[in-house]
Structure formats: structure tokens, C-alpha cells
A and B are shown apart, each in its own frame.
Chain A
Amino acid sequence: MPTELVFTVALQGILTGLVYGLMALGLSVIFGVVRVVNFAHGEMMTIASYGAIVAFGAWNIDPLVAMVPIAVILFALGYAMQAALINPFINRPEHSQFILLAAVAIIMVNGLLMIFGPDARSVLVDYSLDSIEIGPLLVDKVRVITATMALAITAALFAFFKLSHTGKAIRACADNHLGALVIGLNVKQLYALTFGIGSACVGAAGAMMTLLIDTTPNIGPVFTLQAFVIVIIGGLGSMPGALLGGVLIGLSEAMSGLFFAPSAKTMFGVAILILVLLFRPQGLLGRKA
């Protein structure tokens, strides 16, 4: 097999994996702090994708530009969802939370179906079909751009949680819920803020994803499942873990497609998940409970 083919495919896999990582990051951030698993994650991402498609169709706005207002809208949606809907469920059993968010997901999918219909939609910008030559390698320009953006957003989020007062307060809530209450932090508001931040990440990933794949209302559950696999591999609640999980899945899909059967790509991702669950149940970069 030609070496440049192997390197090209590996690079494409890593770049795709970085966008997967950003997609899973929102899920990981929300669980890490609020301890609620967002089962409507993929569906929120699909809403963001449709936002980008509408912005492009109506006003010709590039999804990479539309990403900013969409992230803001998703932040507001996430904040409102946490404040109005999820906070009352925080202390209820996990299956109640699951049913609540699964119901939200079903409403979102059907709402999108009613508004946009079942047809696949995509965004074709000027550079959609361009490639960049790096020596003997030919790399998809869109993947390079989206992966770079994904890295930048992750770095910004990391800095926010490490350096800002609000970020530190959110981490305090995650580390010690009772302690956070004792020192007078408004935990409910911080939870809503965290859900908003996680949703904004999903919004950005959803807008970028329109440049990579076609969007249909029914793609949400696929994203949700993929995000779950990634965060469990990387470690639920770990931000670098989400990125690592994404890259591992992207790379494994690409390599298994190249060396084995392309139709077995998903199988390899799930095989990694099983290995991680067997030998490191907390995930590669997760902390033991």
C-alpha cells in the first residue's frame, strides 16, 4: 500500500476526529459539572446545523461565520433548558433525567422534520471541494479549517475554566457541590451557565459539521451515540479526554477503513469502547469515581 495513501488517510482521520472531539466536548463539560447526561445532545447539534443551513440559504452567510451567533443562540437554549427544565430533575433518579432528555430529543427531531422535511441538506461554499497539497499529501481544506477551529475553541474553553473566576466557580461546583453551596455560590445559576457553555460548543460543532456532511433531522441520534462513545473512551467529564477520544475514533475509523473493510469502520470504534470499559472504565483521561 503506498505510504502517502496511509499518511493521507491517517491525517484525514485525525482532522475529522478533532471535530468529533468538539462535538463530544459539550456533552463532557455538562456531565462533568451538572452530572446530567444530555441525551438530546446530537439533536441540539442538528438544530445548530439547520441554523447554519438557513443562514447560508437565506443570507449566504458562511457557516464558519454563522457559527458565532448560532453558538450564542444555543447557549441561550441550553441555559433556558437547564434553568427551566433540568434543574427540577437534578436530584431525581437518573432514569427520570434520561426520560426527560430523551423526550426533548424526540420533540426536537420531529420539530425539525415538520419544519425542514426529511431531505438531506448541505452547504456548498466556494472552498467546499478544495484540497490543500502538503508535499505528496492531498488534504481536504474544509477538514483542515474545521479541525483548527475545533482546537481553538477547545483551547479557549480550557482557558476559561482554568483562568476566569466564573470558570473556577464552575469547577468548584463540580469538585464539591456542598462546599460550593457553603461558600455562597449560586449553584443553580452556574449549572445553567455550564449547560449553556456545553450547548454553545455543540452549536459551533453543528455549524461546522454542515461543511463536512449532509444534515437530516434523523442524524441527531447518530451524533448522540457517537458523542457518548467518544466521551466514554476519553473519560466522562474530561475536556482533553473528549478531544483524545474524538481523535482516536476518527483515526480508528480511517485506518480500519483502509486496512480492513470500510463497512466495518463503526465496529472498530465500538471495539475500542469495549476495551476501554474492560481495562480502564473511567476512560483514558477520566478520574476514578
Chain B
Amino acid sequence: MSSKITRRQFAASAAAGAAIVAGVAPFNIVRAQPKALKIGSIHPRSGFQAQLGIACQRGIDIAPRVLKQLGMGADVEIMNADTESNVDIARSRAEKLINDGANVLIGAFDSGQSAAIAQVAEQKGVPYIINVAAAPQITEQGYKFVFRNFPTAPMLVGDGLNLMKAVFEKSGITPKTAVFMHVNDTFGQAMAGAIKAMAPRFNLPFQIVETIAYDPQAKDLSVEIAKAKATGAEMVMPVTRLNDAILMVREMVKQRWEPKIVMSPGAPGFYENQFYKTLGKFSNYLITNVPWYNPRSSITQKLLDEFTKSYKNELFELNVGFSFEAVMVAVDAFNRAKSTDGKALADAIRLTKIDNHVMAGGTLQFNEKGQNVNIKSVTLQNLDQRPKVVLPLDIAEDNLLLPMPSWSKR
């Protein structure tokens, strides 16, 4: 018998085979289980916010390892994107991450960039967990796929102003006048708006005698500090980023301006590694009221161990903590949803309830707007060139030291 296959026989067999494959394929798709959660991490890793974006990235990179140790392990694939500290690039990078298959987005440190990413995520139906960004409007738009595990500017300011009163009470020093200096970007304006609206309600003991806004990319703050010094204010309330925080303190030293207290109502800058490296002894005694990791939490200790192993010379701070928690929220939702579908993940994130976590405050959960309202600020004071919790007393690491010693006596 001939074993040759004719052209007609081959064509018929191929067609039958194709029909079988085509017929079974839909069932294969239905049966397929998601193997890995693809997390799109989007941060400013170059440009003027690069250091802070990279700090966030560190928290994300170590998160899968720590979560595995905590028994929350899942196959996670981290996809990275750089916003270049630019809102338009943030938008296009978010689109690209989603087109490349990201199931969840996490980012983006900056409010302006986060707002742009939120629009894209909502449009595409992909959950977006904001790790750091405070402009309140992002979670006031009625978005269904946007969640924020970071306080809004009014929450930051409310906590910040309350803690200010606690600092005055604890130190016995109550300033009568203050100058408010803020970076003029989305975050700075949101904070300024919140302070203006909320300060009267808090019955603060001091009067804000001058408000000074400055360019976020300022290379020199000598004029701003000269102007602030001329007010004779006893306290400075700065809302800064990192580079401008360095410029501000350096200029205060040069101009020999020694207010009794320098206390941020809730902004980055003073507690960043680069700040300590650059200013050395002049970084001490500055205060920030800010959401921070709970040094007493067992998860914080695990995260801190892993962080120290991976980044010996870097500082463990809030950007790392919130970024880790964003991954924790995504993985927790994935484990419960057992799906990478955007809607299923968003529904699962909405039902998040994590009691034991890293950042200070209550249970990690989201309200109907996608905002975690249980985060609480602490008072950090720079002591021995590192940030230490000084209030509230139940989680304090050191004692509050005020008034600040003179710049020349350090």
C-alpha cells in the first residue's frame, strides 16, 4: 500500500485539524487561569524628581520578596516606566504600559503626573493604585478604577496642623507669627489651598504673615529667604520637594536667619537621604508632620530588613513604605479576585481590608471614592541626621528638641 499522501488528502486533513483547533480554542481561553499579575510601575526616574521616583521604585522592587515571606506570595511581574518628571510623558507611558499588558498601574509620586495617569487608567478600565500624590481632585472625579493609599492635601494639612499644636504643647514654645513658603506646583498649590481653607478652623495660635510661592525648579532661593527673613516670623512652614528644601536651608544658614521652629505641615524634602547627605549637621532639628511608617509594626520590620539588605546606603522612608503597600494592595486583590480582569481587580481592591501593614494609621481600606482615609501623620524631627518619630508618644523613637539651636553653634 502506498504511504503517499495526495495534495487533496493533505488539504482535507489540514482543514479538519484547523476546524478542531478552532472549535476547542474558545474553551481553552475560558479555562486559562492567570499565572502572573503584571504591575506597571510608573514613576519619575529621571528629571528633577528622579531621586524620589527611584525611592518609590525601591519599595516596589522589594515588595514581591517581602510579600512571599508574609505568605501573600503571588507571581508578580513588574513592568517599569519613567515619566521623566513630565505630565505628558506620564500619560503616554501609562498608555504604553497598558498596551503592553499591565493589569494594574502603581505610581506616580507627583500629583500632576498621577492625575494624567488616572485619566488613562479610567478610560482603559485598568486599576490604578496611587502610592504617593496628595492633590484631592484625583479621587474626587468619581473614577471607578483609581485608588489612593496616600492622604489628600486636606488630610495632610489637617493632621499637620493638629500635630503642630501638639508640638507647641510638648515643647512649651508657641510662635506668634509664621511665614508659609511653598513650591508652586500641583502639590504645592493643593497644600496652599488646603492651609488657607482649613487654618481658621484649627484656631492656630500664630498668624501667617507672608505666603511665598516659588518655582519648583528654582536653582536659587536667596530672594525668597531674604523676603521671608524680613517678616521677622518666628516659625517657617515650608511645603517643599527635595532640591528646594536643600536650597532653602542652605540659604537660611547663609543669611543667618534663625527662626525658633521650622516645621513642614506635610511635604517631602527634610526626611530624604540626599537632604542629610548634602546638609550634614544643618539638617538637624527640622520638623515634618507627615505620614510615616509605624516603627512598631512587624511588617515594617520585615520590610526594613529586606530594604537594608538590598540598599545598604539608602534611607528607608515613606516613599518606600507607601510603594510597598501599593503592591501589597494589588497582590491581595489579585489573590482574592483570582483574575487579571480590570473590573474584577478593581472590585477586589474596593473590598481591601488589611489591618497589619507598614504605614502609621488604621486599617488599610478604601472609601467609595477610592481613598484610604485611615492614614495618620506623625511628627518627625531630624536628629542625628536621620528622621525620628517624636510624636505621637506611643510610637515615638526619640524626644522632641526645641527651640532649634543656632546654626553657628552646631
* Interface positions of A (Cβ within 8 A of B): 1-2, 5, 8-9, 12-13, 16, 113, 118-120, 122, 124, 128-131, 138, 140, 212-214, 216, 218-219, 222, 253-254, 257-258, 261-263, 265-266
Contacts and interface: CB of A to CB of B under 8 A. Distances in A.
17 contacts: A5-B227, A12-B223, A118-B45, A118-B47, A118-B54, A119-B274, A122-B246, A124-B280, A129-B254, A129-B282, A138-B256, A213-B220, A214-B219, A218-B47, A258-B227, A262-B224, A265-B223
**Of A13, A119, A219, A253, most B-chain CB atoms within 10 Å:** A119
A8 B215 CA distance: 21
A265 B47 CA distance: 21
B93 interface: no
B166 interface: no
A119 B50 contact: yes
A263 B184 contact: yes
B217 interface: yes
B254 A131 contact: yes
B371 to A, nearest CB: 29
Given A131-B256, A254-B223, A262 B230 contact: no
Given A140-B254, A218-B46, A261 B230 contact: no
Contacts of A218: 46-48, 50
Main secondary structure of the interface of B (DSSP, over half): helix
B297 interface: no
Interface of B: 45-48, 50-51, 54, 184, 212-215, 217-224, 226-227, 230, 242-243, 246-247, 250, 253-256, 274, 278, 280, 282, 407
A118 B50 contact: yes
A216 B241 CA distance: 15
Given A216-B48, A218-B48, A266-B215, 9 more contacts: A12-B223, A118-B51, A120-B51, A128-B250, A130-B254, A218-B46, A254-B222, A257-B227, A265-B223
Contacts of B282: 129
Q: Lowest 6 CB-CB distances: which A-B pairs, in order? A: A118-B50, A257-B223, A263-B184, A213-B219, A262-B214, A129-B253
Contacts of B219: 212-214, 219, 222
A214 B247 CA distance: 9
**Of A113, A120, A262, most B-chain CB atoms within 10 Å:** A262
Contacts of A12: 222-223, 226
B356 to A, nearest CB: 34
A214 B246 contact: yes
A2 B230 contact: yes
Nearest to B255: A138
A8 B226 CA distance: 8
Nearest to B219: A213
Contacts of B243: 120, 214
